[in-house]
Structure 1
Amino acid sequence: MRIRNLTVQFGQTTAVNDVDLDIGDGEVVALLGPSGCGKSTLLRAVAGLEPQAEGSIHWGDEDLTKMPVHKRGIGLVFQDGQLFPHRDVAGNVKFGLRMHKIKDDGRVDELLDLVGLTGYQKRRVTQLSGGEQQRVALARALAPKPRLLLLDEPLSALDRALREQLALDLARLLRKAGTSALVVTHDHDEAFTLADRVALMRRGKIVHTGTAEQVWRHPVDEATAIFLGCGTILRAEIRNGTARFDLGEVKIPWAPDGRHQIGLRPNALVADKEGPLYGEVSGRVHRRDHVRLLVKLEHREVDAVASIADAPEPGHPVRLRFDADGFALVGPRE
């Protein structure tokens, strides 16, 4: 799919602004960005649910720009699944076939097996968990073999543990199905789990596109770095894979030589009794598998992480070491 110069307006408000985006055959692309940035509006415009003010949408040589929704060959999965409560699981999946005048011929059983719901044909959807309902919605969307699947925040209504597990399952399902997909999410962990490429949106524009590793390691600007968790941004001189900056130095062998801005995520600094940095804990918050610390150093406060077993209390001294996995290069070389 080729999206070119796509613009969507609501009155005087431009929700999507001159967007270009390609989605390859069998590729999963995540639209990542904060709430209100225009990503869901872009997805709805691709589906034909929102009229664009400008731009074009093509699938190969076929122009979809003015084509009705039902002729675009697109499957849709929304946040709440939008299942039919009066139909059982098989009835919901069959609806996707019936709308496209396709015979079942074992397709329902095949799809339920694909999404891990073998034997659920007669279950009422109201008796399913949230994760199971989303699997049914996915099976229904895949039933007519769409050329593109659009998923709008498909996991955001689920609790964190279920969301993480279903993201892994969904990533496997999309690749097994071989269907091109565009996934809208505000959660970067979810985007990086699901997608072959990530397109990061801000204020109606796509500001950065790349693989998960490219976007994570080299955010295009400070605003992107902050959105991706970099709470501290410093200037650094990098030579032969070693970054030197005012807190010390760290080996980041993937970074090119030159003057750069580097971003530090909380896990860039780790509590360690042998660490070279000295500070005092000014705050701490428990996470599921670690403790986030706020640490006063000589010239600034920084975020850090510690294990749950031995995290120091506020007011106590702490030593920190660097962890290269928590560093990113921000913006162009200076």
Structure 2
Amino acid sequence: MQAFTFLRATDARQAIDAGARSPTAQQGASVRFVAGGTTLLDLMKLNVETPAQVVDINRLPLADIERLPDGGLKIGALVRNADLANHADVKRDYAVLSEALLAGASAQLRNMATTGGNLLQRTRCMYFRDEHMPCNKREPGSGCPAIDGANRSLAILGTSEHCIATNPSDMNVALAALEARIVIQGTGGERTVPIADFFLLPGDTPQHETVMQPGDLITHVLLPPPTRGARSHYLKLRDRASYEFALASAAVVLSTDSGRITHARVALGGVGTRPWRSLEAEQALLGQMAEPATFASAASAALRDAKPQSENAFKVELARRCLTHALSTVAAA
């Protein structure tokens, strides 16, 4: 780990001003905010993250969960994953989010990890996490050895010739299905970004993962009011039962009327370079009967554009089965 200066911010403006002094626009690379530190500290020890300054934001008043007048939910960026997963309103109205959080990491990490930190979680690709390996995400222009190398756990959707790394978060998949909005404060004031626009595809600039700019600070996540009569579920498939990242996962929200699907939201994890909202699957579901043939058709639509690599072609069928089973579980509830 390289030496750095440490600042304990007492308000958002102090944190934003410190972040804005970063001399590079590459994800604000020389200044990092720390809350739980469950990813940042690991990457600093590996010399993958080498900030010149670390800004502690734990004293900011961003750790509350509030009901909004319209029935939605406002989640502070510093809400711990364990608190969010076990919050009564989340368990009742946004079960898919609670289930996704409880499927991630370990109890100890969930007690430390935060909502904002989870949104900015970095990939687990082994090439990205090894400073001695080339990686376009870490060093633009150095190459992507994963494409012809160890890619069993990597992405099959949203990839490019420059990067096939997956987004590792469970929470983000659920938030995509719930159509969350991210509230960001920066040097230009406050803005709200739909989660569909928050994460960037790698394209030819995989080093840019989100719309965050130097000085930007996530303050809240907003969830819309729950859809009346909707049920939701998160299903995660992985190599072992706990403390493991998804090979494939599915977050689904479904409403039916007389057996016919009236509302559908679908997102996939473990297979995309970002949390993968599948509009194709949703279109295949809407207006159809909630039955196995419909679910299978939707799953096929979701994976139609998959581009597997040398070691992860199995993910196409695995993700199909994962989504089909998740939809069947919700429909049967």
What TM-score do you get using the length of structure 1 for normalisation? 0.23
Q: Computing the radius of gyration over CA atoms, which structure comes out larger, 1 or 2?
A: 1
Query: Which TM-score applies when normalising by structure 2?
Result: 0.23
